[in-house]
Structure 1
Amino acid sequence: MTIERIIRSMAGFMTLLSLALAHFLGQVDLTQVSWLWLTAFVGLNLFQSGFTGLCPPAALLKKLGFKETGSCCS
Structure 2
Amino acid sequence: MSAERIVRIVAGSFILLSLALGVTGSPVFHSSYWLWFTAFVGFNLLQSGFSQFCPLEMILKKLGIKSGCSSC
Normalised by the length of structure 2, the TM-score is 0.49
Normalised by the length of structure 1, the TM-score is 0.48
